[in-house]
Structure 1
Amino acid sequence: MTSELTIRPIQAADTYALRHQVLWPQESMTYIKLNNDETGFHFGAYRNAKLVSVISLFIDGNVARFRKFATRPDCQGQGIGSQLLRHIITEARTQGARRLWCDARAVNENFYRAFKLEPEGNRFYRGTIPYVRMARDL
């Protein structure tokens, strides 16, 4: 049974619970908030009217960065994150961005490669978690 997925703009605060649950559950809620959250574009994917995935897009001139991409664990591997990422790629282009990048958890590198993002530079760590910067032209 497939259910309809709806993607729409949301407020930064609407992303916090999923960011915390999925990305940094061991940290305080304050840890997952960004200083520039209010300047970003935030999107949520809803299934059966429940928020199941979030992503935040920040645009600086012609460069866009997405951050805090989180999908509820019981909803991962179902294409929801892929739909949300495709949505913000289109949104970044619409906003005039010519390049898109993110700091990806290294474990997710192949997922991002499927969207033509390629690693740039060396791995780095946030705590014990390895990351790699990934980017592509739009």
Structure 2
Amino acid sequence: MTRISKTDEQWREALSHDEFMVTRRKATERAFTGRYWDTVDMGIYRCVCCGTPLFASDTKFDAGCGWPSYFEPLDPANVREETDTSHGMIRTEVLCNVCDAHLGHVFPDGPPPTGLRYCINSLSLVFEPADET
């Protein structure tokens, strides 16, 4: 896996202000406001920073939380988990394993088969619709 590293200036040039704040500064978009929280189309969700494929639409489910939620990553090698102790909580942060973009958090309250809920900011993703041919 080839890692991608850029300066803050390079990331700011490549991303919108809000995408930069979420992916590079670990901000969180407001619930029910993201571009993909209610998307039901078939396709692949990629990292907005580097294009790495992260989640497939067939693992997306309505968690009722207002963020896109998935029960597993497309390829576990493409995401990394770290302990997040910010805001007086202990959570598991999910990052892109290629460019270190903050994606969101994973919780143990998802559906079968994994029981996991990858709660991901829409601003950290770009959707690639499935080819309909």
Q: Which has the higher strand share?
A: 1
Higher relative contact order (CA 8 A, sep 6+): 2
TM-score normalised by the chain length of structure 2: 0.29
TM-score normalised by the chain length of structure 1: 0.28
